[in-house]
Structure 1
């Protein structure tokens, strides 16, 4: 039977409260192809070790889910493996927590080979934490030569070993792809191209803005994590000047640690950018909290020291006029735009152009650092044994041997 009807559970823990939690969970659920059919909101001072919500609340949840005809229950918090099993046992329904929900969306969205490898690695890392018990009926035959030999390798040990081997293979493949990405990045820097990276909360309109600025055709939709694969394109500032723009994966509150680790090579495009355009949904009532969440992830990946311009997108929904906001020194710090209508894009190009001119003044075109192979060739040329001799020197050496 295809699972499609989801009952949603939003939990506030302690003093932590997110105004948009229910709406964000609904968007995540629909992005995963599920249909929300009900919602329960709960508050706890601290999690119950067995079921997170406590036995009474779980029974109430079961009644509501059955009345709504749900065939899966989706939680807006990360559950431990034991909590998830205990809840499923009481509800007699499959349970999906926030981490598994986001991982499943990433699995569906990843298109490139690197993206698929990154998602598979993240899912295996998450799965490795859920292997908490073995099954005696899946044991191998008893080992040893005698009749009373000990039990063989349990299925859980087999699974752990197989997962470990596969994770090592994935990391090796991702390292090779990361080296290729690094080579491409160095090639762009040798061409004296300034790199501008777009980052922001998911569904802030990054891909739509990226398409408008670069005349690209990246997939853009009103969905969370519509695009995962990093794309690099020329960004036209004016008829004479271009920079390189890269569009990266969107961030979200509670982004699973496994995904941040697995997507390190992709997020490196943000770390190595010369300028960061932090795209913000200007129409969101929780935009300040979303800005803080993005800044937290940028800090985690050590990209918080990259020069940044805030881009307040979707002003067509707020009535705000296009404009450049400057700091005390007259430098652009924020731009108000609408990627949908194109309003404010000229102001954004002007702001990036100002940054590019100042960047080039501060970073004169110095000779690039030689590659390792070039250093080796230079060393060989300096070796007196390998120096090319003139015809007269070679003739003199031959005469001395006769």
Structure 2
């Protein structure tokens, strides 16, 4: 769900279509076309959210299309093809990975005049949101022209979901605070010896969870903070990949790339931990394991770290329903919308701090759920340059070669980093 967005080959053809910066041009009534990424479960939650909006604003009817793409790259390609063919939605859900790309193509309506006219509403929203989320949206979701193109929505950080019964059977204490890679490894060895369970299923195909937490807890990432230079072959990255490879080599993780069902194995007490953002909570509920699971921060080497990605909600420049679209964006900022989405099983952390700390978010969820919101304090935005899809492919291939032993770790990451340099 956080794979990098692909290029939009034909989208730039719409740059001059419609749009203005005066906050006008259409009535706040009628049908509103909206496109979002979601599988069947997520579509159920989103559709309930849209129905709730329709109850609050019966004069506007949302016609939403959920695209069950396997990642944001596929989603972006699908949407761009539809836009190039003239099927232009009014609003598109855009994750961090695609925000700069969409803005750079001139597809989006600047929101500044709308924000100014509803300043009280917008200020109240951002007063309840971590200020970094607003800064990051401005920095990474714009073209550097000083305009605002997105209202940031829910976000995800990465934590670990621990099976408390596996830890108890192995006689291993749960971490009470920050814990280290060495603590994590020692726990895994003991769990394997005493219960036969795996510690963690490591992988390479989902960098947001499989790769970035290890890099960031060792003080590095795939790119520098400006997203214009690869850092994937740094000594810290090599050390991180070597550590993950050791988990595979020592049998503490199943072989990556197979068909290991983490949820099913967690339920059978054959797995001690899995990584993720808010979304694993839905599986934990489905498996009736809420009371058996504890959420903790990712183990560290150099210091705390986690990637963060967030939803951005823009209005398409070619939309003929801009006022209706803005009415929807305003409603998304409300406490009512945030509480409703959190309570029905939304897969993100509410942007509003007051909701993220409320029962709407923490009820029927594992102990330690507040860590998801607290982690934004030490989070780093997932690197998302315009070349995101190609960059992700290089990172994934390099990490795969490193942790499976196809190439020596350093050689694998240096080859991947060289590809990043060419792309950037």
Query: Structure 1 length as normaliser, TM-score?
Result: 0.27
Structure exhibiting the larger radius of gyration computed from Cα positions: 1
More strand by share: 1
Query: Structure 2 length as normaliser, TM-score?
Result: 0.26
